[in-house]
Amino acid sequence: MTTRPRPEAEPNVGEQTESTTATGAQAVALSQAIDSAPRTILRGLRLSPEFTRGLWLTVLLALCATAGKVVVPVAVQQVIDVGIVEASATATQPQPDIRFVTIAVAACAVSVVVTAACTYAMNVRLYRATESGLASLRIRAFRHVHDLATLTQNSERKGALVSRVTADIDQISNFMQWGGILLIVSSGQLLISTGLMAYYSWQLTLVVWVCFLPLFLAVRALQRWLSRAYLRVRERTGDMLAAISEAVLGAAVIKVHASEDRTTRRISDTVHATRRAQTRAHRLGVTVSPLAELVAATASAAVVVLGVLLGVAGSVTAGQLVAFLFLLTLFVTPMVMATEVLNQAQDAIAGWRRVLAVLDTPPDVADPGPHGTRLPQGAISVHADHLTYAYPGGEAVVQDVCLTIPAGHRIAIVGETGSGKSTLVKLLTRLMDPTSGTVRLNGVDLRSIAFSSLRRRVVLVPQEGFLFEGSLADNLRFAHPDASTTELTEAIAELGLSEWVATLPDGVDTQLGQRGEFLSAGERQLAALIRAHLAGADLLVLDEATSAVDPATETRLQQAFDRLTRKRTAVTIAHRMSTAEAADEVVVLDGGRVVQRGPHAELVAAPGPYADLYASWVRGTA
């Protein structure tokens, strides 16, 4: 029987993978940017309430820090107008009011200390809030990625998906910790300085705002371009991370085929694409900064000229003009800085959009939740009724399949490659919902069974059971987190594998390495079978591994498989003759349809697809 490499399955507890019938639209949802910038920020903030928790106190501290900053210009104005000019006018000879000046200087000193303390407290609070918000966003995004349909996950490469939970959120973090602080401080500074400037001279304030108005309009126009440019940066970064992670995971294949140069070229292409996107976005962003400097210089010059004229006309005093110029600095600094923050803000918003796009993609096999039916204990019967399934945009690959499997029966599914075997078992375990037709377990519609019950009672064992870094015991406990060492030992003994485990350097405590790389392919299958046994499922769906193993491991696998499926309902995609022979019945699929069904002996004796498959099987192993 021919086989082809299968898509990698990333199992959950008890080897399960969560997958669904993602529609075409859902499959592309991950690549869509939807909301406007303010809506994106608002949604992002709402999703992680930690960002805004206690924000009022942080804003209050920011206002205090800003208010502290305006004490100096006000004191300077008072010292000039009251402490020097007025005092000299009332005294016989020109001399400053030393007491008044001393009080003003002391007020300045106190305000500087208060400003520093408030700024420190505000920074700490903001940093803490953003870190907690980002941590919860990261966890939420990760969980959601995990819950997404396998199909939806497959619509984007794994590395790119990971980048949404890592690099994109890092970008938000960079902005929140620097830009966020600056935005709060700047807004307060702008408000307070504008108020005070208007108090001293509304005419000069008007001049300042008129100078800055074109800058605002330019920034608004640029923002749209920047937004697009930074979304491209985030996408290119995702592509780059995907290419790198793929190359790291596939290092062995790359070496075997001596394709290091080709891989390096591919990676450097993605690195350069990211660099180009970054440079373009940054070039757009930095055009604002010199523009802001220019506007600031123009505003200062205009204030000096008009201020002198107003001073001569008696509308402003010398102190007020000097204070105004101080305040203008307070006004201009955040304006210039804000244009720099704009870059980071756009990059962060682009990151936020990508994270929100993940969160907006619905896991499309809906869990009926706590109101769902729970499967009663005991062996499970399966009844598939006119099942049909087509992948998005494709032809039906499972067609009108009707299948009844009595409780406790062992069924082997066989068929040519691409005949729909894997698709059928995904439908039987509700990793996907059928396009039409129903599956019933013990008479209960699969769609109405609560996941908490379904995932415990029905376990899918994929060809390559994913093993995590850790010991054999750690990996076995994925199926049963509370299992004691005795329970592990018993489960191993029940499958007749105690002798094998004893050959491992540290028994169940043997470290397996990343993805179980310290074990052979056959041993990894043994570990997967023990894990499935420990899960205690009543319906086992197995995709038999195709990798060739040595005779001793083959015997162990056969024995473990036989014991595992005993007294359980078992549906196995059979790649070994012995598995089909041992099954109660064999179901033959061809082009997504059941074309033959019956005990091995009966089918093999009659001419037909199974007899042909069997013959080619025998030839292959001869």
Ligand X SMILES: Nc1ncnc2c1ncn2[C@@H]1O[C@H](COP(=O)(O)OP(=O)(O)OP(=O)(O)O)[C@@H](O)[C@H]1O
How far, in Å, CA of 344 to CA of 338, rounded? 10
Residues 5-24 that bind ligand X (CB under 6 A): 6
How far, in Å, CA of 574 to CA of 421, rounded? 10
* 481 Cβ contact partners less than 8 Å away, ≥ 6 residues apart: none
CB 455 within 8 A of CB 13: yes
CB 183 within 8 A of CB 268: no
Burial of residue 201 (number of CB atoms within 10 Å: 0-12, 13-18, 19+): buried
How far, in Å, CA of 359 to CA of 357, rounded? 5
Task: Tell me which of 314, 394, 443, 607 binds ligand X, using CB under 6 A.
Answer: 394
- Judged by CB under 6 A, the stretch of 44-52, 272-280, 321-329, 415-423 that binds ligand X is 415-423
Q: What H or E segment, with its residue span, contains residue 495?
A: none
The distance of closest approach from Cβ of residue 409 to ligand X in the complex, given in angstroms and rounded to an integer, is 21
Task: Tell me which of 421, 456, 533, 576 binds ligand X, using CB under 6 A.
Answer: 421
The distance of closest approach from Cβ of residue 587 to ligand X in the complex, given in angstroms and rounded to an integer, is 12
Per the document, the length of the chain is 622
420 binds ligand X (CB under 6 A): yes
The distance of closest approach from Cβ of residue 460 to ligand X in the complex, given in angstroms and rounded to an integer, is 13
The distance of closest approach from Cβ of residue 420 to ligand X in the complex, given in angstroms and rounded to an integer, is 5
Q: Which is nearer to ligand X, 155 or 475 (CB)?
A: 155
Task: Tell me which of 397, 488, 534, 577 binds ligand X, using CB under 6 A.
Answer: 397
Q: Which is nearer to ligand X, 416 or 538 (CB)?
A: 416
How far, in Å, CA of 407 to CA of 404, rounded? 10
- Judged by CB under 6 A, the stretch of 3-11, 63-71, 205-213, 508-516 that binds ligand X is 3-11
SS (H, E, C) 418-472: CCCHHHHHHHHCCCCCCCEEEEEECCEEHHHECHHHHHHHEEEECCCCCCCCCEH
Q: Which is nearer to ligand X, 311 or 418 (CB)?
A: 418
Task: Tell me which of 363, 418, 598, 608 binds ligand X, using CB under 6 A.
Answer: 418
The Cβ of residue 259 has, within 10 Å, a number of other Cβ atoms equal to: 15
Task: Tell me which of 100, 142, 391, 518 binds ligand X, using CB under 6 A.
Answer: 391
Q: Say how many residues touch ligand X, by CB under 6 A.
A: 15
How far, in Å, CA of 485 to CA of 498, rounded? 13
3 binds ligand X (CB under 6 A): yes
Q: Which is nearer to ligand X, 413 or 519 (CB)?
A: 413
Residues 21-40 that bind ligand X (CB under 6 A): none
The distance of closest approach from Cβ of residue 537 to ligand X in the complex, given in angstroms and rounded to an integer, is 21
Q: Which is nearer to ligand X, 436 or 485 (CB)?
A: 436
- Judged by CB under 6 A, the stretch of 351-359, 416-424, 428-436, 593-601 that binds ligand X is 416-424
- Judged by CB under 6 A, the stretch of 223-231, 366-374, 411-419, 466-474 that binds ligand X is 411-419
Task: Tell me which of 26, 40, 115, 423 binds ligand X, using CB under 6 A.
Answer: 423
- Judged by CB under 6 A, the stretch of 58-66, 107-115, 340-348, 410-418 that binds ligand X is 410-418
Backbone dihedral region of 400: left (phi > 0), alpha (psi from -120 to 50 degrees) or beta?
Answer: left
The distance of closest approach from Cβ of residue 531 to ligand X in the complex, given in angstroms and rounded to an integer, is 22
Residues 591-610 that bind ligand X (CB under 6 A): none
- Judged by CB under 6 A, the stretch of 389-397, 437-445, 464-472, 593-601 that binds ligand X is 389-397
- Judged by CB under 6 A, the stretch of 86-94, 243-251, 413-421, 441-449 that binds ligand X is 413-421
Task: Report CA torsion sign: 506, 509, 514, 520.
Answer: positive
Task: Tell me which of 180, 372, 415, 465 binds ligand X, using CB under 6 A.
Answer: 415
Give the burial string for 521-549 (b: 16+ CB within 10 Å, else e).
ebbbbbbbbbbbbbbebbbbbbbbbbeeb
- Judged by CB under 6 A, the stretch of 199-207, 311-319, 412-420, 602-610 that binds ligand X is 412-420
The distance of closest approach from Cβ of residue 422 to ligand X in the complex, given in angstroms and rounded to an integer, is 3
Task: Tell me which of 16, 26, 115, 422 binds ligand X, using CB under 6 A.
Answer: 422
Q: Which is nearer to ligand X, 418 or 507 (CB)?
A: 418
Residues 149-188 that bind ligand X (CB under 6 A): 151
Four-point Cα dihedral 486, 491, 497, 502, nearest 10: -20
Amino acid type, 424: L
The distance of closest approach from Cβ of residue 431 to ligand X in the complex, given in angstroms and rounded to an integer, is 11
Residue 450: CA count within 13 A, CB half-sphere:
10
Backbone dihedral region of 262: left (phi > 0), alpha (psi from -120 to 50 degrees) or beta?
Answer: alpha
Task: Tell me which of 17, 339, 419, 442 binds ligand X, using CB under 6 A.
Answer: 419
Task: Report CA torsion sign: 565, 571, 573, 578.
Answer: positive
Task: Report CA torsion sign: 576, 580, 581, 584.
Answer: positive
> Which positions from 116 to 155 touch ligand X by CB under 6 A, shown as an x/- string?
-----------------------------------x----
* Tokens read off for 369: 């939740």
Residues 217-246 that bind ligand X (CB under 6 A): none
How far, in Å, CA of 510 to CA of 191, rounded? 65
Residues that bind ligand X (CB under 6 A): 3-4, 6, 151, 391, 394, 397, 415, 417-423
